[in-house]
Every structure is written in C-alpha cells, then in structure tokens.
Amino acid sequence: MKPADARTYLDPAVVAQLANMELRARFVVEGFITGLHRSPYHGFSVEFTEHRPYMPGDEIRHIDWKAFGKTEEYFIKQFEEETNLKSQVILDASRSMAFAAEGRITKFAYASSIAAALAYLMVEQRDAVGLTLYDETIRQSLPPHATRSYLRQILLALEHAQPGNGTQTAAALHAIAERLTRKGLIIVLSDLFDDPERTVTALRHFRHKGNEVIVMHVLDPLERSFAFGADAVFEDLESGERVMTQPWHLQRAYAEAMRQFLGTIRGRCLDNGIDYVLLDTATPYDRALTEYLNKRARLH
C-alpha cells in the first residue's frame, strides 16, 4: 500500500464502502501502520508455557517448527491464558447514533468501524478484546478473548448490528460495569446524549472497579456546528417529535449549549482519570487508533 493509499483507507467515507467489517478493520489498521512507517506490534512479548499435539483446526502460525525438526511431529505452542491486556469495547447502538448529515456516514457506522479496527489491532498485539452493544439496556456482550477465530465473532456482531432503541447511556454503563469480573481497559464509543453528570458517574463506576477508561465521544460535524443555514424541520430520532425552525436564530444558543456539554464531559472525565477523545464522523480513523496506542503504551 502506498502512503497516499494509506490516507485513503483512513477516510471514513471510503472505508464505509468496503464490503464487510473484516475488510474495513484490516484496511484501516494496515493504512494506519503504513502511515506510521513502523509497526505498532513490536515489544509485546508472549510467553508460552507448554506444547500440545497439533489438532485439525489449529492455526498453522502456532506450529513450533523447531520442535518439528527434532521430532518430525507437529506441536502447537500453547500460550498463557493471561494476555498483555484485556479490553472491552463498549458501543452505543441507540437510535441517536443513526444520525448523519447529508453526505456523511452515520455516527454508528463510524463508531462501528473504529470498534472493528481496535479489535483487529488488539488481537494482532495478542491482547484480549471483547465487545458490548447497548441502547436502553445491554443488547449483546462478548467477553474478552485473544484469538483470531474469536475476532471474527466480534466483527460479525458489528457487521450485523443496527442502531435500535432510545438512549439510556448512564444506566447501561452502570449495568455493564456490574458485570465485569476482571480489570482491564474499557473503551466507550458513544455520542453521550444523556445527562452529563449521570454519564460521568457511570464512567466512574468502571474506575472504581480498577479499570482504565477511554471515552471516544462521536458526533456528526453538523451536531457540533449547527450550520444548517435555511429553514429546517428537526426530528428527534428517538421520540419522533418534529419542530420547524430557522437554525440561524438558534445557532448562538446551540453553540453555547454544545460548548457547555462538551466542556462538562471532558472536564469531569479528566478529573476522574478518564481519557477523553472528541471525534466527529469526518475525522480520519488514525486519530482513534493513535489515542488507543498512546494509552496502551502508558499501561505496558
């Protein structure tokens, strides 16, 4: 892949056109690595504790060829269950994530591609990754594992998921935190359209249980700017309520409300040792992957 191509495959609009989630994840990660001009996969040693005989279905890459040279039998390196890091990617699948300004992809499509790329990258690093989808409640939860066969389950879950019911981010995050039995890294992908104080309290729940947390706050560019211009009809994606208005009348008030909303979320996250990353659906995917790797390096 040429450097120019690498940037292309970090473009959300281009990635959204790829056939399936596995392709999207692979192209985003490969484009990211090409852009770095070095692999982020170095430095993560994995110790194996024993060998066992090869069985049909085992991954060929785990065959110990030195052992084969000595015994002429196939053995698999059996790795420790404990991996470098256990991560849970938590994806908001509520109806508000279905929003997209004209010419943009939806927030859900954008966040799903980030989730897929993160999972792909983690498994390549031999880290364990799981996935939780929520709206008003927990819709699906896959616990962390570090195998490529399990990665396919995560990618299929992301590929088939669609934004559904209303938003209850704070309540859902509390419920997810209660289910966790192991400490690790929590990555939340959401538009965070809930009461900011209740949301941050729920995020603190993960911290109280000893987890590290990254919040990737996903918005549409139009939600940040409110630059509609002409008369417009606004529809609440969750309640269906419709309002006719002139956006320029509201733009200043909206901008101030959004500034306060973002400032509250960011400030309260940082006060509680929670990493905060503001993204919109026009932001190339390398921003999210860079933030993850920076966090990963601090934890190593």
CATH topology of domain 86-299: Rossmann fold (3.40.50)
H or E segment to which residue 275 belongs: strand 275-280
Q: How confident is the model at residue 78 (pLDDT cuts 50, 70, 90)?
A: low
Predicted local distance difference test score (pLDDT) of residue 187: 98
Sign of CA dihedral 187, 116, 195, 226: positive
Q: What is the pLDDT of residues 98-127, one digit of tens each?
A: 999 888 999 999 999 999 999 999 998 889
The amino acid occupying position 37 is H
pLDDT at position 299 is 83
272 pLDDT band, cuts 50/70/90, is very high
In our burial notation (b when 16+ CB lie closer than 10 A, e otherwise), range 162-185 reads: ebbeebbbbbbbbbbbeebeeebb
The dihedral over CA atoms of 234, 240, 242, 248, expressed in degrees to the nearest 10, equals: -20
Enumerate the domain spans of the chain.
48-79, 86-299
- Tens of pLDDT along 170-227? 999 999 999 998 899 999 999 999 999 999 999 999 999 999 999 999 999 988 876 6
The predicted pLDDT at position 239 comes to 58
pLDDT above 60 (res 232): no
